[in-house]
Amino acid sequence: MTQETMKPMEAALPESKLKHMPINMFAIVMGLAGFSLTCHAVVGNETLDLITGLLASAVFVILTFFYALKIIKYPQAVVEEANHPVKLSFFPAFSISLLLLSSVWLKYDFAVYLWLAGCTLQLILTLFVLYSLVHKTFSINHVNPAWFIPVAGPLIVPMAGTQLGYGFISTIAYPIGFIFWILLFTILLYRLVFHDPLPPKLVPMLCIMLAPPSVAALSYHAIDHYYAAPGAHSSPVVLMLYGIAWFVFVFLLTNIKRFIKAPFFLSAWAYSFPVAAFILATKKLVPEFSAPEYLSVLNLIDYTLWGLFALLITYLFVRTSILIAKGKICVPE
> Rounded to an integer, what distance in angstroms lies between the CA atom of residue 330 and that of residue 18?
7
Instruction: List, for residues 110-128, the tens digit of each pLDDT value.
Output: 999 999 999 999 999 999 9
C-alpha to C-alpha distances, 83 to 59, 137, 145, 195, 248, nearest whole angstrom = 26, 10, 17, 22, 30
Q: What is the pLDDT of residues 65-97, one digit of tens each?
A: 999 999 999 999 999 999 998 899 999 999 999
**C-alpha span between 75 and 267 (Å, rounded):** 23
Q: How many CB atoms lie within 10 A of CB 231?
A: 6
Superfamily for the 20-325 domain: Voltage-dependent anion channel (1.50.10.150)
Q: What is the pLDDT of residue 123?
A: 94
CA distance 58 to 76: 27
Return the SS3 of 197: coil
Taking the whole predicted model, whether its pTM rises above 0.85 is answered as yes
- Predicted confidence at residue 4, as pLDDT, reads 47
How far separated are the first and last CA of the chain, in Å rounded? 33
Find the range with the poorest average confidence among 70-74, 174-178, 292-296: 292-296
Q: Sign of torsion, CA 192 217 64 37?
A: negative
Give residues with Cβ within 8 angstroms of 191, minimum separation 6.
140, 141, 143, 144
pLDDT above 70 as % of the chain: 95
Share of the chain above pLDDT 90, in %: 74
Share the mean pLDDT of the chain: 91
Span 57-67, mean pLDDT? 96
Range 49-67 average pLDDT = 97
